[in-house]
Amino acid sequence: MTPTHRGNVSKNVEKQVDTGDNSQMKPVRLVTVTENQDGQRIDNYLFRIFKGVPKSHVYRILRSGEVRVNKKRIDQTYRLQAGDIIRIPPVKTAEREEKRIPDARFDILYEDDSILVINKPAGVAVHGGSGVSFGVIEQLRAMRPEAKFLELVHRLDKETSGILVLAKKRSALTRLHEQIREGSIDKRYQALVHGNWKNRRQHVRLPLLKYHTADGERRVRVDAAGQASHTVFNVLRHYPDFTLLEAELKTGRTHQIRVHLASSGFVIAGDEKYGDYELNRQLQKGKKGEDALKRMFLHACKITFVHPETGKPVTITAPLPDECAGYLKTLESGNSKKT
């Protein structure tokens, strides 16, 4: 599929009313909703434009009727429609120093008017939060200030590398999310696990439950009270003490591949949350300071979906990062074999 030129996006139409207040108080604005905002909840829309304003205050001005759509009161669940006129009241925002988002360059695997697909490196969060000041989405928005819409279609763990899809139009985001809910998007990962995986193809169906540790860290465990989760594992190659697997996600739960493998007795090499501490220490040290693995060996290598605009199937692949491919070469010195 050949990327095309960027489409023109209609600009917000704003009418400002001067309130004579200080510089911290933004004036009343009348904003026309664009196609890229169609379907978005009003509260999420306001969170984006009222940066630095507590969410409790945003909900308060919604309840009070200060925010109106087409001159009518609405609640926080209202979904915007293209052409709606939003009355945005004056809101005092705290002055704070803007944190500079460092420049970043991501390997672009595919791009057109509707979607952007990058090859995310390991060690980079996809978005800010939970102690992370910024992530891929904030960096991309900073690099593309002209972009009127840019949102994550799905997520990857910070420690996982590989394919990450972003939408450049709300219509594209909505259609891709529909495919995710239907389970029609085919996502494949490569994982190196410790041990000799026996079955060439194996289904793992274990319910997963999210919880928080005593220090507030988010974790996942196998629990009958959790959500139904399904992963299919295919053996790609056996190595001495390790097996290279392909993982097919049938559901998309948090940490699904990592927990399904660990609970099956095969931890991912370099996994600091669910892996083997002593094994990871040895991998990071390597032999004689060489052939070390200093990251988790989990990589999103392939995705297939229906293009949200053309309706045609799209398949995108991402090669193994150098650090993972290089470590496999060190294992090939043993008696490895393809399966």
Catalytic residues: 157
Residue 87's Cα: distance from chain center in Å?
32
Name the E strands within the chain: 14-17, 28-32, 68-69, 72-73, 85-88, 107-111, 115-120, 151-152, 161-167, 186-194, 201-205, 208-212, 218-222, 230-239, 242-249, 298-306, 313-317, 337-338
CA distance 169 to 147: 10
Residue 132: what residue type? V
How are beta strands 161-167 and 298-306 bridged, if at all? Answer: parallel
How are beta strands 68-69 and 28-32 bridged, if at all? Answer: unpaired
Q: Tokens 């972003």 correspond to what residue? A: 166
Cβ-based neighbour number of residue 48 at 10 Å: 9
Find, among 294, 296, 222, the residue nearest to 260 by Cα. Answer: 222
Q: Measured at the alpha carbon of residue 76, what is the angle toward residues 72 and 78, in degrees to the nearest 5? A: 60
Across-strand partners of 221? 209
Crossing angle of helices 42-49 and 55-64, in 10° steps, is 130
Contact (CB, 8 A) for 46 and 57: no
